[in-house]
Amino acid sequence: MHHGGYTIPASLRHLIDAERARTGRSAEAIIRDALSQYFETSLHTVFQVSTSGALVAGVSEREVSVGTLLDHGDFGLGTFTGLDGEMILIEGHAYHADVNGDVTRVAPDAGTPFAIVTRFSPEQETTLGPVRSFSELEAACDPLRGSGNIFYALRLDGRFARVKARSIGPQAPGTRLAEAAKSQHEFTFTDVEGTLVGIWSPEFSGPFSVAGYHFHFISADRRHGGHVLDVDAEGLRLQIEPLSNFHLALPETEAYLRATISGNTAAELATAERGR
């Protein structure tokens, strides 16, 4: 077997074939996992900084640097210190969408209070569409998820007739997310080439993560982006990866340690994140 110019001996090839037959996974996926074990880098792992509950409760101090995030993933989303804008991590680069949806590349020393990232290693690829709304997008992605009980990373590429997104401007320390969301800006990008960077989180993760689909958009020219509220696209290329390991990095800041994070932040989060 030739793989990017490498030759794999027959003895190993038999093992790969047996594993393919046993699991139904592709040779590529098996080789990727084997390499990641050899190099001790984790695949199919969510690395999340802080909890959605803490963010809802207004804990938005810098917890880790973007550089640290990039050590744990090359793909994901989040926000910045003081809820200043939306974060998009794609292909190992971090971007900041400001309150107007204008995007700039972020330096590794920028800080984040909340983010969820992974080393994107998709197992499945397909095309879907047309999708005329966020709920149609959800409905189109649903059958591609094998389970409701693990996390998924989703990347959708294509030309969008319309992307409605929002972003939040910098907030005073301690501002609750629902309060901050009242001052968010909403904007619509039309006829734009770009990518949806998404994480799907199971229902049970609601108190500490963002349950359901959470997408951030970035344009192909890396100039526009934000937290996605609605979409309209003719056809999109979807890549999806199941994520069965979850690493939660809890903050050690005074603000987090002293915060009152009530049990029922999920409803407040849904209002702030969905805007519907």
Q: Which residues bind Zn ion (CB under 5 A)?
A: 227
Question: Cβ of residue 245: shortest distance to Zn ion, in angstroms?
Answer: 22
Nearer to Zn ion (CB atom), residue 16 or residue 226: 226
Nearer to Zn ion (CB atom), residue 76 or residue 251: 76
Closest by CA position to 215, among listed 110, 141, 143, 149? 141
Question: Cβ of residue 227: shortest distance to Zn ion, in angstroms?
Answer: 4
Question: Cβ of residue 240: shortest distance to Zn ion, in angstroms?
Answer: 19
Nearer to Zn ion (CB atom), residue 77 or residue 131: 77
- CA–CA separation, 208 vs 204, rounded Å? 9
Place of tokens 């959800």: 138
Nearer to Zn ion (CB atom), residue 16 or residue 155: 155
Which residue of the chain is nearest Zn ion when measured via CB?
227
Closest by CA position to 213, among listed 149, 134, 275, 268? 134
Nearer to Zn ion (CB atom), residue 29 or residue 153: 153
Question: Cβ of residue 87: shortest distance to Zn ion, in angstroms?
Answer: 8
Handedness of CA 50, 69, 75, 32 (dihedral sign): negative
Question: Cβ of residue 273: shortest distance to Zn ion, in angstroms?
Answer: 6
